[in-house]
Every structure is written in structure tokens, then in C-alpha cells.
């Protein structure tokens, strides 16, 4: 976890940007801590984060291009979902997928199968 690595790393540009709390699953005791980030261009933790983000952006763009070639427009589909007053869980359940998977499709983290896209379009009156 990035935060565990940042917690003890001495970086002058490090700052707290949030906090977390919860319960330790092993002991049941309350636990909490801070979330850290930095603006360093030399911090190895930050550089890895930048590399991963760049890789993820490239993968998403490749999926967007595949979708475009197949005539799939996830933004338009999501707008239709909102106009029809479906929440994410509703539409996911109607087409037989999980809400997190719907979000992966919507955010182009995964390529959507044509059959699933067609089901969503039909459900929303778009197809």
C-alpha cells in the first residue's frame, strides 16, 4: 500500500491530504491514520505512481479506440442511464454484471463485450 511506504519516508514535499479510519479485522480494535502525497520529482514512490498512471492512461485510450471502431460510446450510454434515472447498480443487475464491472466498462478499464453493450442500449431505449 502506497500510504504505508510514504508514512515513514522522509520527503520535504510530503503532505497529508486525508485520513482513514476503521477496524482491524484481526483484533476488532479501532484503527486510523493519514493519507500522504508529495510533489517530489525524485521520490521513488511518486515516480512509480506516475509510471503506473501513464500506463493505465495508455491502456484506457487503446480500449476507447477499440470501442470507437465498434461504434460503442460509453459516455452517451452513461448519459442515457442518468436520463432514465437508473443508478449504476440497477443497470448492472439488469444486464447480469456487477456494479464494479459496469464502472470498469464505463471508465474504459476493461473492454465491454458487444452483447453486454447491446443489452444496455436496449434497456435504455437507445437500441
Q: How confident is the model over 1-37, as pLDDT tens digits?
A: 466 777 777 788 888 889 989 988 899 899 888 888 8
Tell me the pTM: 0.71
Q: Indicate the DSSP class of residue 94.
A: H
Tens digits of per-residue pLDDT, 77-123?
999 999 999 999 999 999 999 999 999 999 999 999 999 999 999 99
- pLDDT for position 93: 95
Contact 101, 92 (CB under 8 A): yes
| Domain extents in the chain | 2-40, 45-119
| Residue 93, Cβ density class (10 Å: 0-12 exposed, 13-18 middle, ≥19 buried) | middle
Using DSSP's 3-state secondary structure scheme, residue 35 falls into strand
Of residues 21, 17, 31, the one with CA closest to residue 6: 17
Question: pLDDT band at 42, cuts 50/70/90?
Answer: confident
Amino acid at each position: 500500500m502506497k500510504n504505508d511506504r510514504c508514512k515513514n519516508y522522509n520527503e520535504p514535499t510530503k503532505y497529508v491530504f486525508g485520513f482513514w479510519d476503521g477496524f482491524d479485522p484481526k483484533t476488532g480494535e479501532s484503527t486510523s491514520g493519514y493519507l500522504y502525497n508529495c510533489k517530489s520529482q525524485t521520490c521513488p514512490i511518486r515516480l512509480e505512481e506516475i509510471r503506473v498512471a501513464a500506463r493505465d492512461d495508455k491502456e484506457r485510450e487503446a480500449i476507447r479506440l477499440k470501442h470507437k471502431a465498434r461504434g460503442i460510446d460509453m459516455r452517451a450510454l452513461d448519459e442515457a442511464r442518468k436520463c432514465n434515472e437508473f443508478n449504476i447498480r440497477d443497470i448492472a443487475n439488469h444486464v447480469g454484471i456487477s456494479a464494479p464491472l459496469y464502472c470498469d466498462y464505463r471508465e474504459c478499464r476493461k473492454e465491454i463485450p458487444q452483447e453486454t453493450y447491446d443489452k444496455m442500449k436496449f434497456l435504455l431505449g437507445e437500441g
